[in-house]
C-alpha cells in the first residue's frame, strides 16, 4: 500500500477549524464528544440530531484549553486540511468506555493505571479512506505518546465482517493494531481488548 500523502502531527488548538470541517465532511455530529457526554443514550441521540453545535463547541473549548480529553493526532494535507483524526487520551478521561458492561471490572484493567492512554476513535475523510491514513495516525500516536507521559496504549477495535461499513471501524481496524505491536489482553468475541507497552 502506498504511503498516504499526508503529514501526521499532534493535534493543537490551531487545528480546531479544520478538525470541525472533517466532522462536517463525514456528517458526524458527535465531534468526538460521546465518551464525555454524561447524559443517557436518548439524550445523546437527541443532541446529535438537533444540537450538534453543542458538541462542536465542547470540542473546540477542550482543544483550546489543552484539556487532556482532547489529545490526539491529525493527518494534514499539504494545504493544511485535516483529513484524519485519532483520539488518544489518558484512560482516566474515558471512564464511560471502561464502565461499559463488556469491560467493567476486567482483570486486565487492575493495578496502576497512571500512564495508560486509550485510543478513543478514528475518523478519516471519506475521500482519503483505504489509503493508509489510519495506519499513519496510529504510528504517530505510538511515537508521540511517551512524551505525553504514556507507558501503554489500550484499544477496543471491533472485529467486523469483511465489507462492513466504514462507520463500524470508528475504533480502528483490528488488523492495524496487530501490525503495530498490540496484543490481545482480553478476548470477548468480536470485542477484544488490545494493549501495547511503550
Express each pLDDT in 172-186 by its tens digit. 889 999 999 999 999
Residue 187 burial (CB < 10 Å; 0-12/13-18/19+)? Answer: exposed
* Cα–Cα distance, 8 to 16 (Å, whole number): 15
Measured CA angle at 32 (ends 147, 145), to 5 deg:
10
* Cα–Cα distance, 56 to 7 (Å, whole number): 24
In DSSP terms, 194 is beta-bridged to 155, 184
Task: Evaluate whether residue 63 is within a structural domain.
Answer: yes
Residue owning grid cell 493495578:
111
pLDDT in tens, 95-150: 999 999 989 989 999 989 999 999 999 999 999 998 899 999 999 999 999 999 99
Task: Evaluate whether residue 1 is within a structural domain.
Answer: no
Q: In this structure, what C-alpha cell is assigned to residue 73?
A: 493526532
Could you tell me the residue range of the domain that residue 96 belongs to?
Answer: 7-197
* Cα–Cα distance, 46 to 16 (Å, whole number): 24
> Is pLDDT above 80 for 168?
no
Helix (H, G, I), strand (E, B) or coil at 182: coil
CATH number at residue 160: 3.40.630.30
Other residues' Cβ atoms within 10 Å of the Cβ of residue 138: 26
Task: Evaluate whether residue 156 is within a structural domain.
Answer: yes
Task: Evaluate whether residue 105 is within a structural domain.
Answer: yes
pTM of the prediction? 0.92
Task: Evaluate whether residue 2 is within a structural domain.
Answer: no
What's the total number of domains in the chain?
Answer: 1
pLDDT in tens, 16-67: 999 999 999 999 999 999 999 998 999 999 999 999 999 999 999 999 999 9
- pLDDT band at 161, cuts 50/70/90? low
The one-character DSSP state at 66 is T
> Is pLDDT above 90 for 162?
no
The pLDDT value recorded for residue 150 is 96
- pLDDT band at 165, cuts 50/70/90? low
Higher pLDDT, 149 or 2: 149
Amino acid at each position: 500500500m502506498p504511503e498516504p500523502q499526508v503529514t501526521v502531527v499532534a493535534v493543537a488548538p490551531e487545528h480546531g477549524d479544520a478538525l470541525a470541517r472533517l466532522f462536517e465532511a463525514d456528517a458526524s455530529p458527535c465531534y468526538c464528544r460521546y465518551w464525555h457526554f454524561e447524559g443517557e443514550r436518548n439524550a445523546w441521540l437527541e443532541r446529535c440530531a438537533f444540537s450538534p453545535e453543542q458538541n462542536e463547541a465542547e470540542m473546540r473549548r477542550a482543544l483550546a484549553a489543552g484539556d487532556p480529553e482532547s489529545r490526539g493526532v491529525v493527518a494534514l494535507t499539504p494545504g493544511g486540511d485535516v483529513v484524519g483524526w485519532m483520539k488518544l487520551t489518558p484512560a482516566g478521561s474515558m471512564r464511560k468506555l471502561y464502565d461499559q458492561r463488556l469491560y467493567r471490572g476486567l482483570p486486565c484493567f487492575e493495578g496502576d493505571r497512571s500512564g495508560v492512554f486509550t485510543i478513543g476513535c478514528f475518523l478519516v475523510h471519506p475521500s482519503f479512506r483505504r489509503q493508509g491514513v489510519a495506519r499513519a495516525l496510529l504510528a504517530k500516536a505510538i511515537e508521540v505518546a511517551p512524551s505525553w507521559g504514556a507507558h501503554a496504549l489500550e484499544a477496543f477495535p471491533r472485529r467486523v465482517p469483511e465489507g462492513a461499513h466504514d462507520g463500524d471501524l470508528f475504533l480502528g481496524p483490528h488488523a492495524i493494531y496487530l501490525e503495530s505491536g498490540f496484543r490481545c489482553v482480553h478476548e470477548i468475541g468480536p470485542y477484544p481488548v488490545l494493549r501495547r507497552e511503550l
